[in-house]
Amino acid sequence: MSNTIWSGRFSEPVSDLVKRYTASVSFDRRLASQDIRGSLAHAQMLVRQGIIQPVDLAAIERGLAQIAGEIERGEFEWSLEAEDVHLNIERRLTALIGDAGKRLHTGRSRNDQVATDIRLWLRDTLDTMDGLLQNFQKALLELAEAHADTPLPGFTHLQVAQPVTFGHHLLAYFEMLRRDRERFKDCRRRVNRLPLGAAALAGTTFPIDREWVAQALEFEGVCENSLDAVSDRDFAIEFCAAASLVMVHVSRFSEELILWMNPRVGFIDLADRFCTGSSIMPQKKNPDVPELARGKTGRVVGHLMGLLTLMKAQPLAYNKDNQEDKEPLFDTADTLIDTLRIFADLVPGIRVKPEAMAAALRQGYATATDLADYLVKCGLPFRDAHEAVARAVRAAELKGCDLPDLSLAELQAFSPLIEEDVFAVLTVAGSLAARDHIGGTAPEQVRAAIARARTYLSQ
């Protein structure tokens, strides 16, 4: 005797394999608290509208409270027979309180129920995410402040380009995370709409009050169209897209950490607690955490592709396909949460090696642009200045020295406009200080950016 909810319609039970294939309880049980919360609001509305009786509500509230306790204590018996989180809870409720439990599903379908649960879950997740991104930003800001003056070779094409400060470099990531937070915030607005009331797809014949339920569950409003309400998963895709960008940012940072930690570069060292050794090579200290974060980016981007493909060409309204939305969504959130937690801890453990950064700056003619700008300020057109400096760099290269190591006479061979004051321009400190405008790398500007960032973080 099958005990599934719809058994009356069927003449044979599903096979065990099909049962396992179609069940989602192994992963959607993590929606249990959202499911209970949604059921409570729905039941309260049913009473307010005179659709069920207050005694039913009292029983439902008592039963759901008990179930919540059982789940929390790990005593709840999840069963594959009942397929998913919704039916598991409903079945237990009916076992506990009888007919009132069977009345809970009046005017509702699992289709609007599951959409509501996911939205409630994602809303909480987005709030958690914002706090974690903020902590990561704080960690970057602290380190940036400590290194507002520390010169670092800025790269383009991974070749020495111009001096920047390490603080300025870190603030670039701060900006990426600021946009990430904005994207999540924007995503939250579209997550925060109530599907309940759409029922299976067309709405319900009962005189429900969707606005009341929306308010009770702190949604900003209701989904306007019942077909869309049960079948829309845009919000999950948006979340995964924003999450993918977070991971892309983390992967860029990770790549730099890995590069900076390579002994040939040696700009930083990571705290031992984020690294592991090799089972065969005793000398190794591997930057495992950044490497894994870089790798896990592929996983999160993959989930985005998975969800997009899941929804592509799906006809209206609900289709069982949609059950496949949860695992990528959950795994995206879990991966992000762990990654962000770890990075907020990893950043303060970065040991910066300013000497290695300074040494690298002495090798790549990082102030060549400054010399060109100097000549322009003396009246030379920029293209001519560029050419004069290119020749100077070649001469320095042949001599095996840096630009400021050339004598004034040697430099004047490339342009008679060059005077003694050129040497202030050719120093790293001079180069940095000269980029003195908003968004520039002058230490004064970096400190101003840090001050603005602090104000932003305190809002």
Distance in Å, CB of 112 to ligand ARG, minimum? 9
Residue ranges in 23-52 that form contacts with ligand ARG under rule CB under 6 A: 24, 28
| Residue 226 known to be catalytic | no
Judged by CB, which is closer to ligand ARG: 282, or 315?
Answer: 315
Q: Which residues contact 377 (CB under 8 A, 6 or more apart)?
A: none
CB nearer to ligand ARG: pick between 25 and 340 = 25
Answer yes or no whether residue 323 interacts with ligand ARG by CB under 6 A. yes
Beta carbons of 431 and 404 less than 8 angstroms apart: no
Per CB under 6 A, which region of 42-50, 110-118, 371-379, 431-439 contacts ligand ARG?
110-118
Q: Residues 6 or more apart from 248 whose CB is under 8 A from it?
A: 297, 301
**CA neighbours closer than 13 Å in the CB half-sphere of residue 186:** 11
Asked whether position 402 contacts ligand ARG by CB under 6 A, the answer is no
CA 396 to mean position of chain CA atoms: 46
Min separation Cβ 270 and ligand ARG, Å = 41
- Select from 377, 390, 455 the least CA-distant residue to 422: 377
Q: Which is nearer to ligand ARG, 310 or 442 (CB)?
A: 310
91 binds ligand ARG (CB under 6 A): no
User: Is residue 320 at the binding interface for ligand ARG, with CB under 6 A as the rule?
Assistant: yes
By DSSP bridging, strand 221-222 and strand 193-194 are parallel
Closest listed residue to residue 201, CA positions, set 111, 122, 134: 111
Minimum distance from residue 114 beta carbon to ligand ARG (Å) = 4
C-beta of 114 vs 213, nearer to ligand ARG: 114
- Give the active site residue among 11, 157, 279, 458: 157
Q: Is 229 in the site for ligand ARG (CB under 6 A)?
A: no
76 is written with which tokens? 């709840």
Q: Among 236, 242, 21, which residue's Cα sits nearest to residue 114?
A: 236
| Lookup: tokens for 334 | 């879990």
Catalytic residue list contains 251: no
| Nearest CA among 11, 38, 18, 32 for reference residue 80 | 18
Which residue in 43, 52, 100, 114 binds ligand ARG (CB under 6 A)?
114
Nearest to 230 by CA among 199, 205, 261, 190: 199
- Alpha-carbon distance of 218 to 78, in angstroms, equals 29
x/- map, 407-446, ligand ARG, by CB under 6 A: ----------------------------------------
User: What number of chain residues touch ligand ARG (CB under 6 A)?
Assistant: 9
Interface pick for ligand ARG out of 116, 165, 322, 445 (rule CB under 6 A): 322
Nearest one of 58, 56, 64 to 39, comparing CA atoms: 64
Tokens 């983390």 sit on residue: 250
Based on CB atoms, which residue is closest to ligand ARG, 73 or 312?
Answer: 312
Q: Does 111 bind ligand ARG (CB under 6 A)?
A: yes
User: Is 110 or 435 the residue whose CB approaches ligand ARG more closely?
Assistant: 110
**Interface residue with ligand ARG, options 84, 90, 232, 269 (CB under 6 A):** 84
CB of 164 to ligand ARG, least distance (A): 49
Instruction: List CB contacts of 190: < 8 A, sequence separation 6 or more.
Output: 234, 235, 238
Indicate the angle between helix axes 326-346 and 110-146, nearest 10 degrees. Answer: 20
Cis peptide before 199, with omega less than 30 degrees from 0? no
Stretch that binds ligand ARG, among 100-108, 158-166, 318-326, 333-341 (CB under 6 A): 318-326
For the CA atoms of 448, 454, 455, 458, the dihedral, rounded to the nearest 10 degrees, stands at 180
In the bound state with ligand ARG, the residue whose beta carbon lies nearer, of 110 and 303, is 110
Q: Does the footprint of ligand ARG cover residue 192 (CB under 6 A)?
A: no
Q: Which stretch binds ligand ARG (CB under 6 A): 120-128, 135-143, 316-324, 380-388?
A: 316-324
For residues 150 and 354, the answer to whether their CB atoms sit within 8 Å is yes
Active-site positions read: 157, 278
Residues that bind ligand ARG (CB under 6 A): 24, 28, 84, 110-111, 114, 320, 322-323
